[in-house]
Structure 1
Amino acid sequence: MLPVTPTFRLDGRKAFIAGASRGIGLAAAAALSEAGAEVFVAARSKSELDSVCDELRADGRRATSIALDVTDSRAVDAAFDEFGPFEIVVHSVGINRPVDLVDVLDGDLDTMISVNVRSAFVVTRAAARSMRDLDKGSIILVSSQMGHVGSPRRTVYSATKHALEGLAKSLAWEVGANNVRVNTICPTFIETELTKPMLQAVGFREWATQRNALGRIGTVEEIMGAVVFLAGDASSLMTGSSLMLDAGWTAQ
């Protein structure tokens, strides 16, 4: 008898997406809902989330908005208690303030660590607790190619993304016995609101495209398939791993 390909459908599953009001987080929510999951989209801006949910519902998808500061552990835990448990949790929250390390301000350092790292720990902790009772689940952290390499003017950002890689690897061992998987997605530069100022800077787009094998900047649509893959049964043997969507940046 021929083996049967595991389904890429996510019908009947609930997904929590942090940072879903725009960019990669929005693309993740759209991808998961298109695959059949009921999505719970979280971010600080309720108006943006409501617009996202209106669009998803207009297309016949199930969506709920959760206005939430994901650096606030009590608020995150309360949201998981109220709306969970979730079989799929995506953390797509991050900021970057490119500058040489010697010029990094304490306030910017604290903000990047809080938004990029603390929020990931808070969300994954809530996810791990929730999934422990379900005895199944997939946690997906949106990391970066900078979680595997270094780059000028990105010392703090790279450090925070390296932290996510360590978090995913260690947590995978803690929750694996409960059939919970933890992986990262590591994109190259993607056209988003976050990267727009950088990509508009003189010479930056050329600098970036010369450093990947495909010679171009990525789009959010090119992240969506990876999210669906990691969320479902097709990746059931994958945990503690990094899915590189870096156009070959780290291949040299």
Structure 2
Amino acid sequence: MGFSNQLLNGKTIMVTGAGKGIGRACALLAAQCGAYVIAVARTESDLLQLQKDSTELSGTIETWSEDVTKASFHQRLKGLSELHGLINNVGTNRVAKMTEQADDDVDAVLDLNIKSLYRCAKAALIPMQKSGGSIVNMSSQMGFVGSPGRTLYCASKHGVEGLSKAMAVELAADNIRVNTVAPTFVLTPMTEPMFENPQFKKFVFDMIPMQKLASTEDVANACVFLLSDLSAMVTGTCIKVDGGWTAR
């Protein structure tokens, strides 16, 4: 099952952090639905593979090897002739107890998860204000709850939720919608080793009523819905792809 391959026809969509995991799945699904996708990542080899894997899709993927924290990227983004959608997907985590968390970790997480998201969205407003559009900020179930060892990450994702609501209210007059997608733990090559720890695996599965992890495709489906006209009256809210974690 999937969306129509014409769902995003005529739309230019940017996906940051598109080289791996959720961002890669979002870029491929958007292209499958007919979008012209600008996939942004730092690793050129990941982008080349992404482009190779998209050749039979109805849309097109253009790749930008860029660091989203750099002013040069923001200037390039501002120079686009049009932009209808943005998936702000870049983020990081530093798991540790508060008493063991280094000051450098605080800066790294907040700089990437909040500051870069804000600056990327701000730059995107220049081309997006011409036609309106949709911004999807990648949040987390940790933007709604607390969790041991993840106080810093929770703080950043609670910030994403508050920022996104404020953006939605401010930008509504420009016909720009802003929402978040909040996944639970997603099975990726990066997270797979974590689940080799039986204690951690039990903790996670005990918290998810559906008793399974999300896939990158599960998250991409929510993002594409929010990019499309199917969600034309949806703004300032969140789609939780969490298997029921936050409903407890």
In 1, distance between residues paired with 2:58 and 2:64?
19
- Give the 3-state SS of the residue equivalent to 1:203 in structure 2: helix
Alignment of 1:120 with 2:134, yes or no, is no
Counterpart contact for 2:168–2:177, Cα < 8 Å = yes
Q: Secondary structure at the match of 2:149?
A: coil
Q: 2:19 is matched with which residue?
A: 21
Offset from partner CA, 1:120-179 (integer Å, 9 cap, x none):
111111122321222x10000110000011100000001110111011100001110111
Shift of 1:7: 10
Return the TM-score normalized by structure 1.
0.92
Pick the aligned partner of 2:154 from 158, 175, 181. 158
Unaligned residue ranges in structure 2 (runs of 5+): none
Structure 1 residue ranges (4+ consecutive) displaced by more than 3 angstroms after TM superposition: 58-61, 81-84
Question: Does the aligned pair in 2 maintain the 1:14–1:85 contact within 8 Å?
Answer: yes
Q: For the Cα contact (< 8 Å) 1:171–1:182, is it kept in 2?
A: yes
Cα drift, residue 107 of structure 1? 1.5
Contact 2:79–2:127 under 8 Å retained in 1: no
Cα displacement string for residues 164-222 of structure 1 (whole angstroms, at most 9, x for unaligned residues): 10111000011101111000000110012442343233421111011011011111111
The TM-score normalised by the length of structure 2 is: 0.93
Which stretch shows the higher mean deviation, 100-109 or 146-155? 100-109
CA contact (8 A) 1:7 1:232 kept: no
Q: How does 1:1-252 map to 2 (within 5 A)?
A: 9-59=7-57, 61-72=59-70, 74-134=71-131, 136-252=132-248
Specify the code of the residue in structure 2 equivalent to 1:212.
I
Q: Which residue of 2 aligns with 1:3?
A: none
Going from structure 1 to structure 2, the CA distance change for 1:94 and 1:106 (only over 3 Å counts) comes to same
Q: Secondary structure of the residue that 2:235 maps to in structure 1? A: coil
The runs of 5 or more residues in structure 1 that have no matched partner are 1-5
Deviations 1:11-43 (A, max 9, x none): 011000000000111111011111110100001
Partner SS, residue 105 of structure 2: helix
Root-mean-square deviation (CA, aligned residues, Å) is 1.7
